[in-house]
Amino acid sequence: MPAKNLKRFGLFAAGLGAAAGAAVFINHTHSLASAQPASVPVIEFAAGDLAQPQTRDLRLAISITGTLAPRNWTTVKSKVAGELKTILVREGESVKPGQVLARIDTQDAQARLDEKVADLEGGRAQLALAQKNRSNSLALLEQKFISQNAFDSVQSSYQVSEARLKALEAQLAVAKKALADTVVIAPQAGIISQRHAQAGEKLPIDGKILTLVDLAEMEVEATVPAGDIPSIRVGQEVSFHVEGFGERDFIGRIDRINPATQTGSRSILVYAMLPNREGALKGGMFARGSVTLSRVVQAMVVPISAVQETAGKAQVFAIVDGRLELRPVKLGLRSEDEGLVQIVDGLDAQTRIVRARLGILRPGVQVKVVAERN
């Protein structure tokens, strides 16, 4: 209630008290004058002091904050050692899966491949000779011109040559792959976020070349007090406001919940996934959001400040036929962030209630609503 309204109420109460004192004095002196009837108390409210139930969607939420990061990203590394001949992409460029990103000098890889090809040819020749000796020895064994031990020795040489040929074939496959790995390709679609090497550098095996990020899905890592964790579940909706985007809502969902508290705190990390197919969001942006714990569609709501709760009972001051009435109500979902509470029973949409909890209000007092003065 505005200060001017309280002032009116106070002046009236003072006047009422003075009238009562006068009546006592008259009765004490047995005056023959008739006592004037006391005026009926009236409380004046401005329109802004009152509220009517509204119908709207209401949700209970827990606030979380965190920094955006790409959910999928990778560091592209060299699979072979060698000189980095060229990088074909720069920071900020989009790439497709399988696209050539860089090339490494092929001289060493080609030389090793040529060596393995020659070794394989020699292995094939040795196997052919061992196979021929085995056939001849088998014929001699059948005619009993050689002993079984002599044949077993020839057979063993054949098996060794056969196994060595398989090993050389495997080495050749490795050499071919090493030569193919001198061409660095994108393992996934994304955007180049950083170059770690420049053309002309000598790269070791697993040397960093590029960082590739996929902005199609973003992730927010946030800490939540352990006491709120029982209310959070994987799949719950999260609404985010991101720095730089004003009041635009970005809707995501809880993706994972860490199974242990953070060292030195009683908080637990939760991870929210945020779709970003347009690529508007970038890594490192600050996001402030709220996790929807429950939602009621088309709920009747009133300001929390209008509700008086005593001994587990909720009541509001309603205006009925121009008088204050203390009416019990049944509450539902409460949203502290929005300052609203659901009324399940006890009010209808047309009933006006007092917005603020004022201790001086009494049921049955006559009410007058006045227009605000400028």
| Strand-strand pairing, 190-195 and 42-46 | unpaired
Instruction: Dump pLDDT digits (tens) for 235-287.
Output: 988 999 999 898 899 999 999 999 988 887 888 999 999 999 888 999 999 99
Whether 120 contacts 165, CB under 8 Å: yes
CA distance 336 to 252: 22
Dist. CA 154–CA 129, nearest whole Å: 11
Distance separating alpha carbons of residues 330 and 94, to the nearest angstrom? 56
pTM as predicted: 0.61
CA pair distance 126, 134, nearest whole angstrom: 12
What does the buried/exposed string (b/e) look like for 148-184 if buried means 16 or more CB atoms within 10 Å of the residue's CB?
A: eeebeebbebbeebeebbeebeebbeebeebbebbeb
pLDDT at 13: 37
Per-residue pLDDT at 60: 79
Q: Is 75 helix (H, G, I), strand (E, B) or coil?
A: strand
Kindly list the distances between the CA atom of residue 51 and the CA atoms of 46, 234, 270, in Å, as whole numbers in the listed order: 11, 38, 38
Tokens at 231, concatenated: 């209310």
At 373 the pLDDT is: 57
The answer for residues whose C-beta is within 8 angstroms of residue 348's C-beta and 6 or more apart is 53
Residues in the chain where the model's pLDDT stays below 70 = 1-40, 358-359, 372-374
- pLDDT for residue 296: 86
Which structure tokens are listed for 192?
A: 């180049």
**pLDDT for res 25:** 31
